[in-house]
Amino acid sequence: MTLVIALRWVEKGNDSILISSDSKASGYVAYEVKKIYPIYYSKGKKEVYLGIAGGSGDPSQIKKGYEIIEEILKKHSENLENQPLDFDEFRKAVREIERELVNYSNFLKESKIEPEFDIVLGSVDKNGKSSLYRFDWRGLAEPVHDSPGFAIIGKGSITGGMLLTKLLGYSPENSPKMDLGLLSAFIIDMVSEIDPSVGPFVGESYLMRLEKGIPVIGPLKSHALKQYKKKVRLRKLLIQYLQEVCDRVGEEKVLKMLKSL
Residue 220 DSSP code: P
Measured distance CA(150)–CA(170) in Å, rounded: 9
Work out the pLDDT band at 23, boundaries 50, 70, 90: confident
Q: Is 99 exposed, middle or buried (0-12, 13-18, 19+ CB in 10 A)?
A: middle
Task: For the chain, give the longest Cα–Cα distance.
Answer: 65
**Residue whose C-alpha is closest to residue 5's, from 105, 134, 95:** 134
CA distance 152 to 166: 12
pLDDT, residue 1, reads 52
pLDDT digits (tens, 9 = 90+) for 201-223: 999 999 999 999 999 999 999 99
Closest CA to 36 of 187, 127, 153, 161: 153
Q: What is the mean pLDDT of residues 49-58?
A: 95
Q: What length is written for the chain?
A: 261
Task: Please determine, for residue 120, whether its predicted confidence score (pLDDT) is greater than 90.
Answer: yes
What's the whole-number average pLDDT of the chain? 91
Predicted model pTM: 0.90
Domain 4-220: CATH class, spelled out:
alpha beta
- Residue 30: pLDDT band with limits 50, 70, 90: very low
* pLDDT level of residue 11 (50, 70, 90 thresholds): confident
Identify the band that residue 189 occupies on the pLDDT scale cut at 50, 70 and 90: very high
Distance CA 226, CA 230 (A): 6
Domain boundaries, the chain: 4-220, 221-261
